[in-house]
Structure 1
Amino acid sequence: MAEAAIAIAYPEPWNKGKALGYWLTYRLSGQILGGAINLGINVDRNEAGKVSYTVYLVFIALQASGPFVSLLLNRPSKVQRKDGRKVELEILKDPWFEIKETTREFFTKNFLLIVLWIGQAVFSEAVFFTYLALWFSVRARALGSFVSGIVAVTCGNLLGWYLDNSRFTLRKRARSAFAVIVVFQGACWIWVTVLVTRFRHTRPTYDWNSPGFGSAFAVFVLLTAAFQINYLFLYFFVTNLARNEPQVIRYAALLRGTESAWQAISYGITSVTVFAEVGAVYWNFALWGVAIYPAWLVLRHFGERKENFTTVVGSEERVSEAVAYVERHDEEIKG
Structure 2
Amino acid sequence: MGFQGDEESAPQIPRKTLFRYNSPLVQVSLIGLVCFCCPGMFNALSGMGGGGQVDTTVADNASTALYTTFAIFGIIGGGVYNILGPRLTLFAGCSTYVLYAGSFLYYNHYKEQTFAIIAGAILGVGAGFLWAGEGAIMTSYPPPDRKGTYISIFWSIFNMGGVVGGLIPFILNYHRTSASSVNDGTYIGFMCFMSIGALISLAILPPSRVVRDDGSRCTNIKYSNVSTEVVAILKLFLNWKMLLIVPAAWSSNFFYTYQFNNVNGVLFNLRTRGFNNVFYWGAQMVGSVGIGYILDFSFKSRRARGLFGIGVVALLGTGIWAGGLANQLRYSRQNLLDKLDFKDSGSDFVGPFFLYFCFGLLDAMFQSMVYWVIGALADDSETLSRYSGFYKGVQSAGAAVAWQVDTHHVSFMSQLAVNWSLTTLSYPLLAILVFLGVKDDTKPADETPKEVTPPSTLTQL
**2:269 aligned to 133, 137, 148, which one?**
137
Q: Tell me whether 1:256 sits opposite 2:392 in the alignment.
A: yes
Q: Once superposed, which parts of structure 1, at least 4 consecutive aligned residues long, lie more than 6 Å away?
A: none
Superposition deviation, residue 161 in structure 1: 2.5
CA distance, structure 1, for counterparts of residue 423 and residue 283 of structure 2: 22
Superposition deviation, residue 58 in structure 1: 0.8
Aligned to 1:309: none
**1:27 aligned to 147, 158, 161, which one?**
158
CA distance, structure 1, for counterparts of residue 380 and residue 357 of structure 2: 37
Aligned to 2:372: 236
**2:421 aligned to 265, 286, 289, which one?**
286
Q: Aligned runs of 1:202-221 on 2, under 5 Å?
A: 202-208=336-342, 209-210=344-345, 211-221=347-357
**Contact 1:125-1:227 at 8 Å conserved across structures:** no
**What value does the CA root-mean-square deviation take over the aligned residues?**
2.1
CA distance, structure 2, for counterparts of residue 128 and residue 199 of structure 1: 14
TM-score, scaled to structure 1: 0.86
**1:36 aligned to 138, 151, 167, which one?**
167
The amino acid that maps onto 1:227 is: D
Q: Tell me whether 1:8 sits opposite 2:139 in the alignment.
A: yes
Q: Aligned runs of 1:122-271 on 2, under 5 Å?
A: 122-130=253-261, 131-165=263-297, 167-200=299-332, 201-208=335-342, 209-210=344-345, 211-242=347-378, 244-271=380-407
Superposition deviation, residue 174 in structure 1: 0.9
**Contact 2:219-2:380 at 8 Å conserved across structures:** no
Superposition deviation, residue 268 in structure 1: 2.1
1:3-51 CA distance string (max 9 Å, x none): 1101111111122111111212222122111111111112234447422
CA distance, structure 2, for counterparts of residue 72 and residue 236 of structure 1: 25
Aligned to 1:314: none
Aligned to 2:217: 86
Aligned to 1:50: 181
Aligned to 2:88: none
| Percent of paired sites with the same residue | 20
Aligned to 2:231: 100
**Contact 1:152-1:224 at 8 Å conserved across structures:** yes
The count of aligned residue pairs is 312
Aligned to 2:125: none
CA distance, structure 2, for counterparts of residue 328 and residue 151 of structure 1: 38
**Contact 2:140-2:379 at 8 Å conserved across structures:** no
For residue 11 of structure 1, give the secondary structure of its aligned residue in structure 2. Answer: coil
Which has a greater percent of helix? 1
The amino acid that maps onto 2:273 is: R
**Contact 1:105-1:111 at 8 Å conserved across structures:** yes
For residue 155 of structure 2, give the secondary structure of its aligned residue in structure 1. Answer: helix
The amino acid that maps onto 1:159 is: I
Aligned to 1:114: 245
The amino acid that maps onto 1:79 is: V
120-129 or 228-237, which deviates more? 120-129
242-251 or 281-290, which deviates more? 242-251
Unaligned residue ranges in structure 1 (runs of 5+): 307-318, 330-335
Aligned to 2:431: 296
CA distance, structure 2, for counterparts of residue 35 and residue 89 of structure 1: 39
**2:410 aligned to 274, 294, 303, which one?**
274
**Contact 2:153-2:289 at 8 Å conserved across structures:** yes
For residue 124 of structure 1, give the secondary structure of its aligned residue in structure 2. Answer: helix
For residue 407 of structure 2, give the secondary structure of its aligned residue in structure 1. Answer: coil
**Contact 1:118-1:259 at 8 Å conserved across structures:** yes
165-174 or 108-117, which deviates more? 165-174
Unaligned residue ranges in structure 2 (runs of 5+): 1-131, 449-461
